[in-house]
Amino acid sequence: MRIVGKSITAAGEGRYLALVHNYDEKPKRRLYESLRSPGLESGQPVTFFSDGEDTLRQLQMYLSPQSEHILDWFHITMKLTVINQMRKSSVSTEPAAWLGEVEKDLESLKWHLWNGNVDPVLQLVDGLKTILDGDDISQERQKLLRTIREFGNYIAANQAYIPDYGDRYRNGERITTAFAESAVNQLVSRRMVKQQ
């Protein structure tokens, strides 16, 4: 598993980190040093944003058990975008009324996630699975059903880490790891330049 991240201090100073968890001999030590070097004190609260991957969260919990863990909004919206694109690709094979109902449920699902309401999200996912399931369904619908199931499992596994994103956003707090995703691009670019 590859880990790429960026630690940001309260003053806005940042430092990038990249490692391969199974290859690096001391990943816990490297992550700890990455957090400590900009001035992290032992026991100081830390907020970790992640894509929900369990191995990464275990590493974060090991380093700072009292820290706050948040499933980042960026990865949720990426998954929802894929689901919506799959729905749109079914226009030629599925009835318009059915597609409209799925679209309405997906919008409601996103709104509930934005407000940190996980129970209605899981109910909507169950409803979507019922709508999508059936005998002799198209390949597109099968793929959409599988993706909806995976999304429901993803949300259920990470429900303890889903805050009220809207509230955080209105209060000027972070909701996404988009800054870390840009770190990936910067690290790859630097690596490519060195190889040239």
Domain range list for the chain? 2-71+177-195, 73-159
Which of 49, 45, 51, 50 lies closest to 64 in space, CA to CA?
45
User: Could you give the CA distance from residue 64 to residue 7 in angstroms, rounded to a whole number?
Assistant: 14
Bridge partners of residue 140, in order along the sequence? none
In the prediction, which pLDDT does 127 show?
A: 94
pLDDT tens digits along 70-110: 899 999 999 999 999 999 888 888 888 888 898 999 999 99
> Which 3 state secondary structure label does DSSP give 18?
strand
Do residues 83 and 144 make contact, with C-beta atoms less than 8 angstroms apart? Answer: yes
Note the pLDDT of residue 89. Answer: 87
Query: 6: which strand partners?
Result: 16
CB atoms within 10 A of CB 153: 11
Q: How many CB atoms lie within 10 A of CB 32?
A: 16
Question: Which pLDDT does position 106 carry in this prediction?
Answer: 94
- pLDDT tens per residue, range 116-155: 999 999 999 999 999 888 888 888 889 999 999 999 999 9
pTM of the model: 0.78
Cα R_g (the chain), whole angstroms: 20
User: Residue 59 — very low, low, confident or very high, per pLDDT cuts 50/70/90?
Assistant: confident
